[in-house]
């Protein structure tokens, strides 16, 4: 019988976190921003069919960076959770907070269970409110912690740098064109100061638009509408000093 080497729990956790973070960092980053009429999701995605963003419920959207099969699984789990809850109770009883909690529990249990490989994903769950004050954005790192974000959030490979960039420039009440431009700037700004161009057909953009008359607020922005928004002169170079309203939630876990 072989005796396994002793590994301290702290070391084991650190190794698992390292493993998950590396997996997430391989994926392209994406950003989620509040704007005047809702929440916009922007990411670089060469595929038209394999989405990083999707609709969970009427007012709730989902964004994920990392390993596709793992976050796709979580996404479908979330859709099932939301639909079942809405069917059992009422459509109004499905909230981003509830969903984020379930995701956090799921990721946390998987992360700390020695029998399972940690998920290499980082999620964002966002809910658009009736007013900007009612908007909720939750970031869910791989370990099951949960971060309540305001204004802007970035996940994926270069998240820290992009977050810092966004924190300085994002302000409340931006128009969609402004927010979109800022997001693209933030995403293309990453590689050690050198900007690289992201063409419109490699961008995946979706919004949760509170002004939509339908009860389902999620909408993908594609084709001509996207091109028009990217061209719109929104004076997007947001003044840096107006970023005081952006606060970063405290980092949980690890």
Partner 1 sequence: MEANTRGTGRLPAAFLTPGSSSFMDFLGEHSPELLPGRRTLPPVQGAVQAPHGTTIVATTFSGGVVLAGDRRATMGNMIAQRDIEKVFPADEYSAVGIAGTAGLAVEMVKLFQLELEHFEKVEGAQLSLEGKANRLSTMIRGNLGMAMQGLAVVPLFAGYDVDRGKGRIFSYDVTGGRSEEQGFAATGSGSIFARGAMKKLYRDDLDEQQATTLVVQALYDAADDDSATGGPDVARRIYPIVAVITEDGVRKLGEQESADIARSILERRLEQPDGPRAALL
Residue 105: CB minimum distance to partner 1, A: 4
Residue 231: CB minimum distance to partner 1, A: 26
Considering beta carbons, is residue 171 or 217 the nearer one to partner 1? 217
Return the residue of 21, 85, 139, 210 that touches partner 1, per CB under 8 A.
Answer: 85
Name the token pair of 144.
Answer: 């099951």
Contact flag: residue 129 with partner 1 (CB under 8 A):
no
Is residue 79 within 8 Å of residue 223, measured between CB atoms? no
The residues, ordered by sequence, that sit 6+ positions from 14 with a Cβ below 8 Å of its Cβ are: none
Q: How do 152-155 and 38-44 pair as beta strands?
A: unpaired
Residue 208: CB minimum distance to partner 1, A: 14
Residue 65: φ, ψ to 5°: -120, 150
Long-range contacts of residues 187-196, Cβ cutoff 8 Å, at least 24 apart: 187/29, 187/30, 187/31, 187/42, 187/43, 187/44, 187/162, 189/161, 189/162, 189/165, 190/29, 190/157, 190/158, 190/161, 190/162
Q: Which stretch binds partner 1 (CB under 8 A): 5-13, 73-81, 135-143, 161-169?
A: 73-81
In the sheet that 147-149 helps form, which strands lie side by side, from edge to edge? 53-57, 60-66, 121-127, 136-140, 147-149
Return the residue of 42, 56, 124, 146 that touches partner 1, per CB under 8 A.
Answer: 56
Return the residue of 11, 14, 47, 109 that touches partner 1, per CB under 8 A.
Answer: 109
Q: Looking at the DSSP assignment, which residues form a beta bridge with residue 149?
A: 137
Contact flag: residue 83 with partner 1 (CB under 8 A):
yes
Considering beta carbons, is residue 109 or 237 the nearer one to partner 1? 109
Binding map of partner 1 across residues 34-53, x = CB under 8 A, - = no contact = ---------------x-x--
Contact flag: residue 66 with partner 1 (CB under 8 A):
no
Return the residue of 65, 110, 124, 221 that touches partner 1, per CB under 8 A.
Answer: 110
The residues, ordered by sequence, that sit 6+ positions from 41 with a Cβ below 8 Å of its Cβ are: 30, 31, 32, 52, 53, 61, 63, 124, 126, 204, 205, 206, 207
Return the residue of 95, 101, 168, 188 that touches partner 1, per CB under 8 A.
Answer: 101
Return the residue of 55, 127, 149, 204 that touches partner 1, per CB under 8 A.
Answer: 55
Residues binding partner 1 (CB under 8 A): 49, 51, 54-56, 73-74, 76-77, 79-81, 83-88, 98, 101-103, 105-106, 108-110, 216
């Amino acid at each position: 019988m072989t005796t396994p080497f002793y590994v301290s729990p702290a070391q084991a956790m650190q190794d698992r976190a390292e493993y998950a973070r590396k997996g997430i960092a391989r994926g392209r980053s994406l950003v989620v921003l509040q704007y005047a009429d809702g929440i916009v999701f922007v990411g670089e995605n060469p595929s038209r069919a394999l989405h990083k963003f999707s609709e969970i419920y009427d007012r709730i959207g989902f964004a994920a960076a990392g390993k596709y099969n793992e976050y796709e699984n979580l996404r479908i789990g979330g859709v099932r959770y939301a639909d079942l809850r809405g069917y059992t109770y009422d459509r109004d009883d499905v909230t981003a907070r509830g969903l984020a909690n379930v995701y956090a529990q799921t990721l946390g249990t998987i992360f700390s269970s020695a029998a399972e490989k940690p998920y290499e994903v980082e999620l964002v769950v966002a809910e658009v409110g009736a007013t900007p004050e009612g908007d909720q954005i939750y970031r869910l790192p791989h370990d099951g912690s949960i971060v309540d974000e305001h204004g802007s959030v970035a996940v994926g490979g270069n998240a820290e740098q992009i977050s810092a960039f966004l924190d300085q420039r994002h302000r409340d009440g931006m128009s969609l064109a402004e927010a979109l431009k800022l997001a693209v700037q933030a995403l293309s700004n990453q590689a050690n100061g050198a900007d690289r161009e992201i063409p419109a057909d490699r961008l995946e953009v979706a919004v949760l638009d509170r002004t939509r008359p339908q009860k389902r607020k999620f909408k993908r922005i594609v084709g001509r509408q996207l091109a028009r928004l990217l061209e719109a002169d929104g004076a997007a170079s947001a003044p840096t000093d107006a970023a005081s309203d952006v606060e970063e939630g405290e980092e949980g876990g690890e």
